[in-house]
């Protein structure tokens, strides 16, 4: 099998400096062939923090992405090459390593606010499904899984049956090793995703579960590892070989030392565990980097077991070191870079993951055996050089005669697997057919005349068929028809969504006017929230999955505004105040504006699509008219033959042009749809987060009051 041997690619990404942060001193040199990052530590700091007299540290990377690097660039340079390998049948892994707050989640999943902030996972999904759609030579199947590892325990983030509100409610995933020492994850669900939209919905479900499972006590986001995996299998039609590949996208736990973050007391056990798990990762990496080490301690922790193939095994692996370069974090950044230098020494050997489907193989082999048997029989017959004997020839003549005389339709002429005999029979039969007034003629005349008749008939039918074909292709050009259907569905979806939203908005405003006129804050804020609220029901009309998910998401009863009465007036008011103070209203407003703009654009495009379609139909009508006219002319003037019609040709060309523009507008339209759905998911996320934050805040307030 094909194999690619390569060291792990290691990149660095520097997070933009916060507003109140003091910049640390560093410089980036991206000169080929050895890009490097130099960090300078003031002498006093170096003495105090690192206990080392060195001032300047230089680290080599595949490439360094400085503060201003945007998500699309990160995807194109880091993730796309890995995704390409995975599409070709190799395993791939991308993991982000760095201290808490340095941008791991931002890089792997993305920011929850802007569409342009979406990270490696959604972009990779989009890229992969695009590529799969383009390749019609193979049949592809895609699944995703999402695993969170916290305190050496695995949790399935994608199980839709569970209404998780705590991490312990999620299904527990355990490791099993088979006799070939392959790792299997028991209880981790593989969810099929047939397109980008389904995959994004699964990601959304997982991220929401991840968010909900986090509490101030477990601080899961900094102490757990999350592994989003895309599983792809592909097969060429008719082939027994299946290619399977996996792409792990890993958001590791924060790499900071426990002592420095100052976590104390009973939290230490947990913190120590996280440290332990990253410590085991380091041990594995050190072992791998050493020459002639035979034992690699993969089994020490769940994470190293799961990633065993990705570290020094069958995988194309890439690491992104995320760095916060402000003064206070510079020593952690140096630790991260040191770790990265060791990782860069590890060699992986990625092999093409091909396996054979035994059932398909049997079918294929059976066919091959039959073919070979036939061929062998023919070949051995041919290889005999001697002529057929007089006696054999007479025997054959007799066989042929009985065969011809036999009226049984099941009778056959069996001369055995001898090419010479078969040939002789053919020649003999040919002679009989061509010889007039013989036995052959008498026997076969009927058949021959029938065949002649059917030949004429056949020609006629062929002509008719051609005509029908032309008509059919004229009226229902296959892909055009399909496009028409799909775009109609989308258009209706979008319009229905818009209408529902308008109606809901009006209703909300009215009901709020009636019900809660007591609280002026509610009134003031309601327009800004009503859009999000109307989102879920309307989106559900277009996304079945989303509906399933949102019903499986735990809803906080005290916040269920739909039922109104459940939340006490005080709590409700508090929520409104909290919302005003905590919600990033600028971003929400931004996104809402953007969403509206996109809807308008989609509507516009939809209208354009309709227009083009009407144009095409009009042109088709013209062609038909033209054909009828010409047919009528041909009837009244039979001497003139139907010839090439330049007018018709011109109409056809116009149709082709319109079709082209239809396809362009349509693909734009489809892109918009993906963006709109993503924006809706983002807003849903912000909303859930806000509710969750409020719940925490409220319960803390309540506790204090007690």
Annotated binding site for ATP: 98-105
Contact status: 526 vs Mg ion (CB under 5 A): no
Cα torsion at 496, 499, 500, 501 (round to 10°)? 120
Q: Which segment (93-101, 227-235, 438-446, 551-559) binds ligand ADP by CB under 6 A?
A: 93-101
# binding residues, ligand ADP (CB under 6 A): 14
Contact status: 57 vs ligand ADP (CB under 6 A): no
Contact status: 321 vs Mg ion (CB under 5 A): no
* Displacement of CA 48 from its chain's centroid (Å): 49
306 closest CA partner among 233, 245, 220, 248: 248
Whose Cβ is closer to ligand ADP: residue 69's or residue 286's? 69
Contact status: 122 vs ligand ADP (CB under 6 A): no
Whose Cβ is closer to Mg ion: residue 105's or residue 348's? 105
Contact status: 322 vs ligand ADP (CB under 6 A): yes
Whose Cβ is closer to ligand ADP: residue 257's or residue 430's? 257
DSSP of 86-136, one letter per residue?
Answer: HHTT--EEEEEE--TTSSHHHHHTB-SS-GGGB-HHHHHHHHHHHHHHH--
Contact status: 102 vs Mg ion (CB under 5 A): no
Query: Which of ligand ADP, Mg ion, none binds 233 (CB below 5-8 Å, type-dependent)?
Result: none
> Per-residue x/- marks for ligand ADP, 236-255, CB under 6 A?
------------------x-
Q: How many Cα neighbours within 13 Å face the side chain of 448?
A: 10
Q: Which segment (107-115, 173-181, 219-227, 669-677) binds Mg ion by CB under 5 A?
A: 219-227
Contact status: 691 vs ligand ADP (CB under 6 A): no
Contact status: 99 vs Mg ion (CB under 5 A): no
Contact status, residue 122 vs residue 203, Cβ threshold 8 Å = yes
| Measured distance CA(476)–CA(297) in Å, rounded | 63
Strands 36-40 and 139-150: unpaired
Query: Which of ligand ADP, Mg ion, none binds 142 (CB below 5-8 Å, type-dependent)?
Result: none
Locate 398 and state its tokens. 């007799």
Among 24, 89, 92, 103, binds ligand ADP (CB under 6 A): 103
Whose Cβ is closer to Mg ion: residue 121's or residue 193's? 121
Contact status: 221 vs Mg ion (CB under 5 A): yes
Whose Cβ is closer to Mg ion: residue 221's or residue 275's? 221
CB of 119 to ligand ADP, least distance (A): 9
| Measured distance CA(499)–CA(508) in Å, rounded | 14
Contact status: 219 vs Mg ion (CB under 5 A): no
Q: What length does the chain have? A: 706
**Residue listed under structure tokens 């230490």:** 268
Locate 156 and state its tokens. 């399935």
CB of 84 to ligand ADP, least distance (A): 24
| Measured distance CA(414)–CA(433) in Å, rounded | 20
Interface positions, 3-42, toward ligand ADP (CB under 6 A): 15-16
> Per-residue x/- marks for ligand ADP, 522-561, CB under 6 A?
----------------------------------------
The continuous run of DSSP H or E covering 141 comes out as strand 139-150
Distances in whole angstroms, Cα of residue 366 to Cα of each of 122, 130, 361, 374, 593: 44, 37, 9, 13, 63
Contact status: 109 vs Mg ion (CB under 5 A): no
Which residue ranges make up the annotated binding site? 98-105
DSSP of 223-289, one letter per residue?
Answer: H-EEEEEEEEEEE-TT--EEEEEEEEEEEPPP---HHHHT--TTHHHHHHHHHHHHHHHHHHHHHHH
Whose Cβ is closer to ligand ADP: residue 16's or residue 621's? 16
Query: Which of Mg ion, ligand ADP, none binds 35 (CB below 5-8 Å, type-dependent)?
Result: none
CB of 665 to Mg ion, least distance (A): 40
Taking CB atoms, the residue at the shortest distance from ligand ADP is 103
Distances in whole angstroms, Cα of residue 686 to Cα of each of 125, 193, 211, 585: 22, 24, 11, 10
Query: Which of ligand ADP, Mg ion, none binds 65 (CB below 5-8 Å, type-dependent)?
Result: none
Taking CB atoms, the residue at the shortest distance from Mg ion is 105
Contact status: 336 vs ligand ADP (CB under 6 A): no
Contact status: 530 vs Mg ion (CB under 5 A): no
Contact status, residue 145 vs residue 231, Cβ threshold 8 Å = yes
Whose Cβ is closer to ligand ADP: residue 118's or residue 246's? 118
Contact status: 329 vs ligand ADP (CB under 6 A): no
Contact status: 102 vs ligand ADP (CB under 6 A): yes
CB of 18 to ligand ADP, least distance (A): 8
Rounded to the nearest 10 degrees, the angle between the axes of helix 439-475 and helix 419-434 is: 100
CB of 188 to ligand ADP, least distance (A): 22
* Displacement of CA 84 from its chain's centroid (Å): 13
Neighbours of 404 (CB within 10 A): 15
**Residue listed under structure tokens 């520097």:** 14
Q: Which segment (98-106, 297-305, 310-318, 350-358) binds ligand ADP by CB under 6 A?
A: 98-106
Among 64, 95, 104, 325, binds ligand ADP (CB under 6 A): 104
| Measured distance CA(118)–CA(104) in Å, rounded | 13
Interface positions, 287-316, toward ligand ADP (CB under 6 A): none
| Measured distance CA(396)–CA(399) in Å, rounded | 5
Among 62, 91, 100, 224, binds ligand ADP (CB under 6 A): 100
Interface positions, 338-357, toward ligand ADP (CB under 6 A): none
User: Which one-letter DSSP state was computed for residue 310?
Assistant: G
Among 93, 105, 530, 572, binds Mg ion (CB under 5 A): 105
Query: Which of Mg ion, ligand ADP, none binds 98 (CB below 5-8 Å, type-dependent)?
Result: ligand ADP
Locate 221 and state its tokens. 């986001």
420 closest CA partner among 396, 445, 391: 396
Contact status, residue 24 vs residue 366, Cβ threshold 8 Å = no
> Per-residue x/- marks for ligand ADP, 200-239, CB under 6 A?
----------------------x-----------------
Please, is 369 exposed, middle or buried when counting C-beta atoms within 10 Å of its C-beta (0-12, 13-18, 19+)? exposed
The continuous run of DSSP H or E covering 336 comes out as helix 330-343
Report helix, strand or coil for 297. coil
Residues at the interface with ligand ADP (CB under 6 A): 15-16, 98, 100-106, 111, 222, 254, 322
Residues at the interface with Mg ion (CB under 5 A): 104-105, 221
């Amino acid at each position: 099998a094909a194999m690619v041997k390569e060291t792990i690619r290691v990149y660095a990404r520097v997070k933009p400096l916060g507003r109140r942060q003091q910049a640390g001193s560093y410089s980036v040199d991206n000169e080929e062939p050895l890009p490097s990052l130099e960090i300078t530590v003031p002498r006093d700091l170096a003495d105090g923090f690192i206990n080392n007299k060195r001032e300047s540290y230089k680290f080599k990377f595949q490439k360094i992405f400085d503060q201003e690097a945007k998500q699309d660039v990160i995807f194109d340079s880091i993730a796309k090459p890995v995704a390409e390998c995975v599409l070709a049948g190799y395993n791939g892994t991308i993991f982000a390593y760095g201290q808490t707050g340095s941008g791991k989640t931002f890089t792997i999943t993305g920011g929850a606010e802007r569409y342009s902030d979406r990270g490696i996972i959604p972009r990779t999904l989009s890229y992969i499904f695009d590529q799969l759609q383009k390749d019609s030579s193979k049949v592809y199947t895609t699944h995703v899984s999402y695993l969170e590892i916290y305190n050496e325990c695995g949790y399935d983030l994608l199980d839709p049956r569970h209404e998780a509100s705590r991490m312990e409610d999620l299904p527990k995933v355990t490791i099993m090793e088979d006799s070939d020492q392959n790792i299997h994850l028991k209880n981790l669900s593989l969810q099929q995703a047939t397109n980008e939209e389904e995959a994004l919905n699964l990601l959304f479900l997982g991220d929401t579960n991840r968010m909900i499972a986090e509490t101030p006590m477990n601080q899961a986001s900094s102490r757990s590892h999350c592994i989003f995996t895309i599983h792809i299998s592909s097969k060429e039609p008719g082939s027994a070989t299946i290619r399977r590949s996996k792409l792990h996208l890993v958001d590791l736990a924060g790499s900071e030392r426990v002592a420095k973050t100052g976590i104390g007391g009973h939290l230490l056990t947990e913190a120590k565990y996280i440290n332990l798990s990253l410590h085991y990762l380091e041990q594995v990496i050190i072992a791998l980097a050493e020459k002639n080490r035979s034992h690699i301690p993969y089994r020490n922790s769940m994470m190293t077991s799961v990633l065993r193939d990705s570290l020094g095994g069958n995988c194309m692996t890439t690491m992104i070191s995320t760095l916060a370069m402000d003064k206070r974090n510079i020593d952690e950044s140096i630790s991260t870079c040191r770790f990265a230098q060791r990782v860069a020494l590890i060699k992986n050997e990625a092999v093409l993951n091909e396996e054979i489907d035994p059932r398909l193989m049997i079918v294929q082999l059976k066919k091959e055996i039959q073919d070979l048997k036939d061929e062998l029989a023919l070949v051995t017959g041919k290889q005999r050089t001697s002529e057929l004997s007089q006696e054999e020839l007479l025997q054959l003549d007799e066989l042929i005669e009985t065969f011809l005389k036999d009226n049984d339709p099941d009778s056959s002429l069996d001369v055995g697997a001898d090419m010479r005999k078969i040939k002789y029979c053919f020649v003999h039969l040919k002679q009989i057919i061509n010889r007039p007034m013989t036995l052959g003629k008498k026997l076969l005349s009927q058949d021959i005349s029938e065949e002649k008749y059917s030949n004429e008939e056949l020609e006629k039918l062929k002509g008719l068929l051609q005509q029908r074909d032309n008509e059919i292709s004229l009226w229902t050009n296959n892909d055009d028809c399909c496009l028409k259907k799909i775009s109609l569905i989308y258009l209706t979806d979008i319009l229905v969504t818009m209408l529902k939203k308008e109606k809901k908005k009006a209703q909300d405003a009215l009901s709020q006017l009636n019900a809660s006129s007591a609280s002026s804050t509610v009134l003031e804020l309601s327009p800004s929230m009503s859009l999000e609220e109307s989102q879920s029901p309307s989106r559900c009309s277009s996304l079945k999955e989303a509906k399933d998910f949102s019903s499986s998401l735990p809803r906080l009863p005290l916040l269920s505004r739909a039922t109104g009465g459940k939340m006490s007036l005080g709590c409700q008011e508090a929520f409104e105040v909290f919302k005003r103070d905590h919600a990033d209203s600028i971003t929400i407003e931004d996104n809402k504006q953007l969403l509206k703009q996109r809807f308008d654009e989609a509507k516009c495009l939809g209208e354009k699509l309709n227009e083009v379609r009407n144009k095409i139909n009009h042109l088709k009508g013209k062609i038909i008219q033209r054909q009828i006219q010409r047919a009528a002319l041909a009837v009244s003037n039979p001497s003139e033959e139907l010839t090439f019609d330049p007018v018709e040709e011109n109409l056809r060309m116009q149709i082709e042009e319109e079709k082209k523009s239809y396809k362009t507008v349509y693909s734009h339209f489809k892109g918009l749809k993906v963006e709109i759905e993503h924006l809706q998911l983002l807003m849903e996320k912000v909303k859930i987060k806000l509710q969750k934050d409020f719940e925490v805040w409220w319960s803390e307030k309540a506790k204090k009051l007690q």
